[in-house]
Amino acid sequence: MTKGKETYYATTPIFYANAEPHIGHAYTTTLVDVATRFHRLKGDNTYFLTGTDEHGEKIQKAAEANNMSPQEYTDMIAGKFKSTWDSLDIRYDDFVRTTQERHKKVVREILQKVYDNGDIIFGEYGGLYCLGCERYYTDKELKDGKCPQHDTKPEYRSEENYFFRMEKYRPWLQDHIKQNPDFIRPERYANEALGILREPIGDLSISRPRNRVPWGIPLPWDENHVTYVWFDALINYYSALDSKNLIDEYWPHVNHFIAKDILKPHGIFWPTMLKSAGIDIYPHLNVHGYWLIDQGKMSKSKGNVINPLDLKDKYGVDAFRYYLLKDMHFGSDASFSEEGLAERINSDLANDFGNLLNRTLGMLGKYTEGKVPGITKIEEIDHDLISSFTKLPEIFTEYFDNLEFDKAISAVLEAIRKANKYIADTEPWVLAKDENKKARLETVLTNCVEALRCASILLEPVMPNKTRELRKQLGIKNIPFNLASAAEWDLVPVNTQTQKGEPLFPRIDLEALKEETVVKEVVLEHKPEVTIDDFAKLEFRVAEILSAEEHPKADKLLVLNVQLGPEKRTIVSGIKEWYKAKELAGKKVIIVANLKPVKLRGILSEGMIMAAEDEDGNLSISSLDRDIISGSEVR
């Protein structure tokens, strides 16, 4: 509370515009919104940036699949993100899109700086390229010739590429991370980054030929190439400020917030890029975990999965935001469930917080005609209550500074519970029966009002709407509303007229919730339509497994010898987790017979067995309804 005005610049990642927002995007963005609102409450100078990442081959393809131009497509997706943020009451200052000219201009400037600095080298690069990852893979990295991420076969491509000399900054970055414990937080992610840096990180491919990927930013010194996704995207954090001449004001105070899956680009690529470009390194990278979706009895295959984001409409934005912030310990994973959300709402928001307001208003209505009577007769027990609240802003601030949002909220809840206990202890309904205790009654009730006022300030960043509603019911207006005023007491003017309204957070019937069955239909995601000619390129055949053995140098692979009509083939297959080598002999299965052979961990695989896998990880290999001779073609 003693600190002066600070500057706070917070960012979410710019989300890749090839799909609609999901709970993960929503969490990061809500979190940043809450953090920014908190700093605003504190009186700090804040800036909140979010946006979308709109370049790259994947988006080009996604646009094509939807019969749209890339620009139309990204306009649509960016619109969806914006409307989702609106519906979550996210109040960002700027929404940057990497296709905006203001961004492209800065990307080119920074590229040029890095180039002039001698950190860009040119090389011809040929290799196996995965479309899904938008990157090349070395033979070593591939799994049986497949992309380890997408399990798809990369295509061979040869092209000229520019590389950023990232490796040369490795020692510097290691040192930087070690010297600055607050650089990557929480600590476990700094350790993870150091782990990555123990091995050479290589140079970073930063371009793609423009003739193949027109949807990108051309390199300033070579118009025939466009920049690669990360080099383009990461710069948004800087370009958005730069385009508004805000670098000096905000850049030194960046707080990047990301989920753990993009630690490497943000913790490794980004600082080395900045270093090379001669830009100050951002001070903080804050990394959070995942929301694991606990579907309980739900199952995708049964078609009754819910989208967590839909629950914000069912239970209200404020409660939804509260749950996200309260139930995740920053840095760790958390499990998301509707039941968890509902229980949280009932216990914290309905029973403790909302009910405190309701009972206070009830008593005011009954005993003082709804007017705030004022504090006249203070007793020892009052001081306890008062200090529980007035010390909160300081505690709250400390927790926020440490990214312990769950604890900050818990601290407020603890005070709220104390207020409920205070009522039980002081027994206003007893005081009301004795005219001699009127002053005491009035004091107690006013203390309750003050407690609610303080709580409403502290919880405002998380629940801006409900806390506003609370103040409205209390009739509070025209008195200071900021963090400092939450450390003061007795601010509500005497005779303020309160107005009891609807309960802030209605209780949820948990029993009924458990009874609910179907929630939402799930739609399968289909690949783009193919023609019969496309299909005809594939050759499926019946093969008989003669024998199978474990791959000597792999954990998950079985090596199968199969009979394919007159031919014998070796197929390496990743089904060891589900099938024992012994039980496979004699089975007839369907294979893809004309896949380009690949070496998998040293053994050449000449085909692929068709198998089905569900989202729970169950796997079943294809079989045939009737016995049929091996080698038969499947169509």
For the bound state, the minimum distance from the C-beta of residue 620 to RNA, rounded and expressed in Å, comes to 13
Written as six digits, the tokens of 467 are 């806390």
Written as six digits, the tokens of 615 are 């989202």
**What is the C-alpha separation between 214 and 507, in angstroms, rounded?**
54
Site residues for RNA, 604-633, by CB under 7 A, read 605, 608-609
The mark string for 266-305 relative to RNA (x by CB under 7 A, - otherwise) is ----------------------------------------
Site residues for RNA, 182-201, by CB under 7 A, read 188, 191-192, 195
Sole window of 46-54, 270-278, 423-431, 486-494 interacting with RNA (rule: CB under 7 A) = 423-431
Pick 274 or 470: Cβ nearer RNA? 470
CB burial class (10 A; 0-12, 13-18, 19+) of residue 603? middle
Q: Find the binder of RNA among 24, 303, 506, 565 (CB under 7 A).
A: 506
For the bound state, the minimum distance from the C-beta of residue 577 to RNA, rounded and expressed in Å, comes to 6
b or e along 489-521 (b: 16 or more beta carbons within 10 Å of the residue's beta carbon)?
A: beebeeebebeeeeebbeebeeeeeeeeeebee
Of the candidates 283, 275, 241, which has an alpha carbon nearest to the alpha carbon of residue 114?
275
Of the candidates 241, 302, 254, which has an alpha carbon nearest to the alpha carbon of residue 103?
241
- When asked if residue 437 is in the footprint of RNA (CB under 7 A), the reply is no
Pick 39 or 326: Cβ nearer RNA? 326
Q: In what helix (H) or strand (E) does residue 571 lie, and over which residues does it extend?
A: strand 567-573
- When asked if residue 346 is in the footprint of RNA (CB under 7 A), the reply is yes
For the bound state, the minimum distance from the C-beta of residue 251 to RNA, rounded and expressed in Å, comes to 30
Q: Name, in order, each residue with C-beta under 8 angstroms of 516's C-beta and a sequence gap of 6 or more.
A: none
Q: Find the binder of RNA among 206, 598, 621, 630 (CB under 7 A).
A: 598
251 DSSP assignment: G
Site residues for RNA, 323-342, by CB under 7 A, read 327, 329, 332-335, 340
Q: Find the binder of RNA among 300, 553, 568, 580 (CB under 7 A).
A: 553
| Residues touching RNA, count (CB under 7 A) | 81
Q: Find the binder of RNA among 295, 456, 573, 630 (CB under 7 A).
A: 573
Q: Find the binder of RNA among 575, 589, 590, 621 (CB under 7 A).
A: 575
CB-based contact 209:215 (threshold 8 Å): no
Site residues for RNA, 244-273, by CB under 7 A, read 260-261
CB-based contact 123:65 (threshold 8 Å): no
Identify residue 434 by its one-letter amino acid code. D
Active-site positions? 22, 25, 130, 133, 147, 150, 297, 300
- When asked if residue 140 is in the footprint of RNA (CB under 7 A), the reply is yes
Written as six digits, the tokens of 262 are 């993009």
For the bound state, the minimum distance from the C-beta of residue 424 to RNA, rounded and expressed in Å, comes to 4
**What is the C-alpha separation between 547 and 586, in angstroms, rounded?**
8
Per DSSP, helices labelled H in 88-157 are: 101-116
Pick 171 or 181: Cβ nearer RNA? 181
Pick 43 or 340: Cβ nearer RNA? 340
Pick 238 or 367: Cβ nearer RNA? 367
- When asked if residue 420 is in the footprint of RNA (CB under 7 A), the reply is yes
For the bound state, the minimum distance from the C-beta of residue 104 to RNA, rounded and expressed in Å, comes to 29
Beta pairing, strands 291-293 & 334-336 = parallel
619 CA to centre of own chain:
29
Of the candidates 106, 76, 58, which has an alpha carbon nearest to the alpha carbon of residue 234?
106
Pick 270 or 505: Cβ nearer RNA? 505
Pick 122 or 535: Cβ nearer RNA? 535
- When asked if residue 316 is in the footprint of RNA (CB under 7 A), the reply is no
Pick 208 or 344: Cβ nearer RNA? 344
For the bound state, the minimum distance from the C-beta of residue 432 to RNA, rounded and expressed in Å, comes to 7
For the bound state, the minimum distance from the C-beta of residue 306 to RNA, rounded and expressed in Å, comes to 18
Q: Name, in order, each residue with C-beta under 8 angstroms of 206's C-beta and a sequence gap of 6 or more.
A: 111, 120, 161, 162, 163, 164, 227, 228, 230, 231
The mark string for 143-162 relative to RNA (x by CB under 7 A, - otherwise) is xxxxxxxxxxx---------
For the bound state, the minimum distance from the C-beta of residue 62 to RNA, rounded and expressed in Å, comes to 18
Rounded to 5 degrees, what angle do the CA atoms 216, 222, 225 make? 35
Site residues for RNA, 352-391, by CB under 7 A, read 352-355, 357-359, 362-363, 366
**What is the C-alpha separation between 257 and 255, in angstroms, rounded?**
6
Site residues for RNA, 439-498, by CB under 7 A, read none
Sole window of 80-88, 275-283, 421-429, 520-528 interacting with RNA (rule: CB under 7 A) = 421-429
For the bound state, the minimum distance from the C-beta of residue 436 to RNA, rounded and expressed in Å, comes to 18
Whole-angstrom CA distances from 345 to 124, 350, 421, 560, 605 are 58, 6, 20, 55, 55
Pick 502 or 633: Cβ nearer RNA? 502
CB-based contact 443:376 (threshold 8 Å): yes
For the bound state, the minimum distance from the C-beta of residue 492 to RNA, rounded and expressed in Å, comes to 18
SS3 of residue 121 by DSSP: strand
Site residues for RNA, 62-121, by CB under 7 A, read none
Q: In what helix (H) or strand (E) does residue 560 lie, and over which residues does it extend?
A: strand 558-564
Q: In what helix (H) or strand (E) does residue 293 lie, and over which residues does it extend?
A: strand 291-293
